[in-house]
Structure formats: C-alpha cells, structure tokens
Amino acid sequence: MAKLKTPTLPSNPLTSPKRPGKAYGPSTPLEHGAEAGITAVDWIDERTSLSGGLRWMMFRKVPKGTNWFYTLGSATMFAFLSQAVTGVFLAMYYDPSATRAYESIQHINNDVFLGEFVHGMHKWGSSVMVILIFLHMGRTFFFGAYKYPRELNWVIGVALLVMTMTMSFSGYLLPFDQRSYWATIVGVNINGTGPLVGPYLSEFLRAGPYFGATTLSRFYAIHMLLVPGAIAALMGFHLYLVAKLGTTAPPWVRAKSPDALREQKVSDL
Amino acid sequence: MNKREKEAYLREYGVLKSQGKPFFPYAIAKDSVMAIMVMVVIITMSIVLGAELGPKADPTSTTYTPRPEWYFFFLFELLRVIKPPALVPLATIGVPTICLILLFLLPFYDRGAERRPERRPIATAAGIFTICAIGYLTYLGAAAGPPTEIDIPVPANVRSQGSAAVANFKSGEQVVAQSGCAACHKFGENGNAGPGPSLTRVGARLPAQAIQRTLINPTAPMPSFATLSEQSPKQFEQMVGFLAALK
C-alpha cells in the first residue's frame, strides 16, 4: 500500500511569535530589559495567577464625588505601618524585664543612633493613629456608610478600634517609668471591677495576683505579637470587603437617571 | 431597609460606580498625599516633642501621679462624674461596655435607608452629642492637674497634744501629698473631687485601723499601699496618722 509522505515539521514549533516592537524582538538594551521584566512577571503569574486579583484591586472604580474624607482609612493603615516599622527597630534594643526595661529605653534614647527619634515616632505615632481612626469612624458614621451592604465592615472596624486602644494601653507600661507603672496599675485595677470576668482578666494581665516580674513580659507579648497580628489580619479582611463592596459615594451625590444616561450613550455614538 | 430599598440602593450605587474613576491612579494619588502628610506630622512631633522618660518605676515610691495617656482621659473622667461608691463598677465597666455594644451593633438597629446626615436627625444629633461628651470629658481630664501639695490647718486636738504630734501630722500630710492621693481625693480646699470620696473628714468616719486596712487592701481602682507599709512602715504610719486626724 502506498504510503502518504509525512509532512515536514515546521522548523521550530515552540518558538513564540515575535513581539511587536521597533524591530522584530528585543534589539536595544532597553527592550531587552523590558523583556526580562515581563518574563519574570509572567513566570510568577503562571504559578500564582495573582495578576487577576491585583487588577481587580487596583483598577476597580471609585464612585463619583469621592473626596479627601475618603483617605482617612488608608491614613490610619499607614500610621499602623509606621508603628510596625518603628516598633521592629525598638524591639531590637528593648529588654522586657522589670530590672532592665527602663535602662534599655534609656540606652535607646541616649546611645543608639537616631534612637530617641524612632522612639518619639513610635510614641507620638500612637496618638496620630488614635486620632485618625476616630476621624475615619466619624466619617463612616455621618455619611451613613455602615448601612447595607457594609454592616460587617463596620463591626470589623469597631473591633479594630478596640484593638488600637488595647495597643496603646499595653504599650504605655513598656517604658517602665513612674507614670506608666502607676497608670497601668490603676488601669488593671479598673479592669478588675468588671462583673464575672473582671477579676480573672486583671489577674491574667498581671500574670498573678500582684504586679510582678512576669507582668512586663506579658504586656510586651500582647503589645508586639498578639494584638498587632490580629490587627493586621482584620485589616486585611476590612480592605478585602472595601474592595469587594466598593467605597461609598458621599450620600448627597445622586446618579443620573437612566433616561439621561441613555441619551448620553446615544449622543456618544 | 426592605428588599426594594436594598435593590434600589445597589442599582443607584452601580450607576455611580460605573461613572467613577479607577482606584489606580486617582484614589491612590490622594491616599499617597495623605500618607506623606501623616508621616510629616509624626516626624515633626517626634522632633519637637521628643520621647522623654520620667523617673524609673519604683513600687515603693510615694511620689507618683497615676495618669493615663490623654486619649483615655474621657474614660478616667467618667469615674469622677459618677461618684457614689456603689456605682463605681457602673462607671469603670458598665457605661463603657454598654457604649461599646451600642457601637458594635449600630448597623443592626439603625436600619433606615436614608444616608444623608441632615435627613437622619436622631443619628446625627447622637453622633454630635457623643463627640461633644468625649471632647468635654477629655478637656476635664487634661485640665484636672495632679496636685502634689496639700495645705490643711492643723486641727485643734492635734495641736493640744504638743509639738511632736504636730510634726507627725505635718510629715504625714507630706507623704499623702507626694503619694498623689489628691489626684482622686479632696482634702479641704485641695485635690480633685473624685473618683475617690472626699477625705476632708475621713477620721470622723473611720478609725485608724479601718483606714490602714483600706490603704493596704483598697477597693478598685485605687492602688494598694501594701509595699509602702512593708518598705517604710514609718511613712505609712504617718500617712495613717494624718488621715485619722482629719476630723
């Protein structure tokens, strides 16, 4: 039986088509550089499919009329990031023991390069963050932005507010000077007056019936591990919901009526 | 909001959103400007105000003033406003907890469809009232200085016991003043009226034994003076003697 001749294979079936450019394929160093970048991003995207989510996050539309009040939330997040970064540098030198804590802060203030500056940023950054989170909450309240469908995001936001206050309370003790020591004793005593859980809560915070050596390390662990971790996680969820539901428009902005829209569409054609 | 209102809102919002601008770069640009401003404010505050340390914490020391960070002033002032001792748990835990629950559940009891602040008079008024109340309490807390001086005329019965008793009374007065008691208690003309009760005539109400017990094992939020009684019993005795002499 006569056999059909097998068709010749294309010279290289695997070479990708040339990219459109000035010449065929990259020729100048700049084009080579761009090509390398695109290849690297492609490699990551092929394995993670992150580009879709990123596009969804970055190129979602923000309603008409969005003004400067809408930057308060991101400003709060930025203040938190600043606290996180300065906090990491303070943690490199801080020693959470009752005998060494005060001296280690003195060492930060007096000896470490830019130590007092970073310590000051952390100290005053907390006030800035508290002010910003309250302003952000005020904006949400007065614009009615907590209403359907954003109820859950309001609840998460209040949880973030409580945790921010917990951060400032637990951080106040850490310098271990007279003011912070006695104010924290009174604060823990106040917790102790609560019904049912009160005494247990203050005993947990003190790590025992009295203010002792372990109290400081307990406050330190709460201040730099437990609460910031929870804040970061909840903040991520808060942001996801903002992107999914969309930021609100100011309540006085009205959409054009569908008729007006249709006329606009027709005239656009 | 009923189903119709919900759908009307979603439709309206959908149109508004489609007429908007993309998040990147328009909203990002505003956010970045704001972030730079936040950074500038924090850096300026750090440079101008610094991060000074007070004296080292000393559990036996008697010179301290328990003052929280300024944004807790309004909670602390609540203790001064609500005075009767039976209601202290209400001020320390009750009112803040109720406010917090109300805050958490806000979207579940305010279910109206209206969003414009001028058409939600109750919500807007409640919000403005809350801000004014917190602002006023914070102002009170900032204005209430921690007095460290007490000046009380020596009572007649102490004076009649001779100069040693007068000297004891005077040094007790100094211990009490340095211990910051006046931050929460009133002594005649000196001190703040609350959260603690007035001590102007505490000696008439309680015998020295009871005063001593209260100092060592106080009702919250007052700190205990047990360490002082162990480390320097003489000062502690003078303190008790001074308080018991206030009749």
Q: What is the value of ipTM here, to two decimals? A: 0.84
Give the range of the structural domain holding residue B164, as residue numbers without chain letter: 156-245
Amino acid at B131: I
Nearest to A84 by CA among A164, A177, A175: A164
Residue A11: the pLDDT is 67
Partners of B22 in beta bridges:
A61
Residue A242: the pLDDT is 95
Q: Is B147 part of a structural domain of the chain?
A: no
Say yes or no: A155 contacts chain B, CB-CB below 8 A.
yes
Within 8 A of B69 by CB-CB distance, chain A residues are 126-127, 168-169, 172, 183
Residue A209: the pLDDT is 79
Shortest distance, CA B123 to any CA of chain A (angstroms)? 8
Backbone angles phi, psi at A95, to 5 degrees: -125, 110
Residues near B154 by beta carbon (within 8 Å), at least 6 away in sequence: B166, B169, B170
Nearest to B245 by CA among B160, B123, B158, B183: B158
Q: Of chain B residues 116-155, which have a CB less than 8 A from chain A?
A: 116-117, 120, 123-124, 127, 131
DSSP code of residue A6: P
Average pLDDT over every residue of B37-57: 92
Burial class (CB in 10 A: 0-12, 13-18, 19+), A201: middle
pLDDT < 50 stretches in chain A = none
SS3 sequence, B77-114?
HHHHHCCCHHHHHHHHHHHHHHHHHHHHCHHHHCCCCC
DSSP state string for B41-87: HHHHHHHHH-----SBP-TT---------GGGHHHHHHHHHS--GGG
Buried b (16+ CB within 10 A) or exposed e, A90-115: beeebbbebeebbebbeebbeebeeb
Domains of chain A listed by start with CATH number = 68-245 (1.20.810.10)
Q: Is B188 part of a structural domain of the chain?
A: yes
Q: Which of B52, B70, B96 is the last residue of a domain?
A: B52
Residue whose structure tokens are 């959409």: A255
Q: Is B207 part of a structural domain of the chain?
A: yes
Instruction: Look at strands B186-187 and A61-62 and give their pairing.
Output: unpaired
pTM: 0.82
Say yes or no: A240 contacts chain B, CB-CB below 8 A.
no
Residue A25: the pLDDT is 67
Asked if the Cβ–Cβ distance from A66 to B47 is below 8 Å, we say: no
C-alpha to C-alpha distance for A8 and A31, rounded to whole angstroms: 34
Q: Is B171 part of a structural domain of the chain?
A: yes
DSSP code of residue B192: -
Residue A268: the pLDDT is 59
Amino acid at A194: G
Q: Are B5 and A43 in contact (CB under 8 A)?
A: no
Residues near A62 by beta carbon (within 8 Å), at least 6 away in sequence: A70, A246, A247, B17, B20, B21, B22, B23, B26, B27
Backbone angles phi, psi at B186, to 5 degrees: -100, 135
Residue A12: the pLDDT is 66
C-alpha to C-alpha distance for A141 and A212, rounded to whole angstroms: 42
Summarised one tens digit per residue, pLDDT across range B81-140 is: 776 767 777 777 788 889 999 999 999 999 999 999 999 999 999 999 999 999 999 988
Residue B161: the pLDDT is 81
C-alpha to C-alpha distance for A183 and B67, rounded to whole angstroms: 5
Residue A86: the pLDDT is 97
Say yes or no: B63 contacts chain A, CB-CB below 8 A.
yes
C-alpha to C-alpha distance for B151 and B144, rounded to whole angstroms: 18
Q: Among B2, B38, B217, which would you mutate to test the A interface (most chain A Cβ atoms within 10 Å of its Cβ)?
A: B38
CA neighbours within 13 Å on the CB side: how many for A249?
22
Q: Is B111 part of a structural domain of the chain?
A: no
- What pLDDT band is residue B27 in, cutting at 50, 70 and 90? very high
Say yes or no: A185 contacts chain B, CB-CB below 8 A.
yes
Residue A103: the pLDDT is 93
Check whether B39 has a pLDDT greater than 60: yes
C-alpha to C-alpha distance for A258 and B81, rounded to whole angstroms: 56
Q: What count of other Cβ atoms lies within 10 Å of the Cβ of residue A64?
A: 18
Summarised one tens digit per residue, pLDDT across range A18-28 is: 666 555 667 78
Closest-approach residue (CA) in chain A for B53: A177
Alpha helices in chain A (DSSP H): 29-48, 50-58, 72-91, 101-110, 115-142, 151-173, 178-192, 198-206, 213-221, 227-245, 258-268
Query: Which tokens belong to A75?
Result: 């400003």
Residue A29: the pLDDT is 87
Element (H, E) at B5: helix B3-18
Say yes or no: B53 contacts chain A, CB-CB below 8 A.
yes
Residue B63: the pLDDT is 59
Say yes or no: B20 contacts chain A, CB-CB below 8 A.
yes
Q: Is B214 part of a structural domain of the chain?
A: yes
C-alpha to C-alpha distance for A70 and B85, rounded to whole angstroms: 44
Q: Is B26 part of a structural domain of the chain?
A: yes
C-alpha to C-alpha distance for B184 and B152, rounded to whole angstroms: 17
Check whether B214 has a pLDDT greater than 70: yes
| CATH code of the domain in which B181 resides | 1.10.760.10
Nearest to A85 by CA among A210, A197, A232: A232
DSSP code of residue A177: B
Check whether B146 has a pLDDT greater than 60: no
Say yes or no: A54 contacts chain B, CB-CB below 8 A.
no
Task: Report the domain count for chain B.
Answer: 2
C-alpha to C-alpha distance for B110 and A38, rounded to whole angstroms: 50
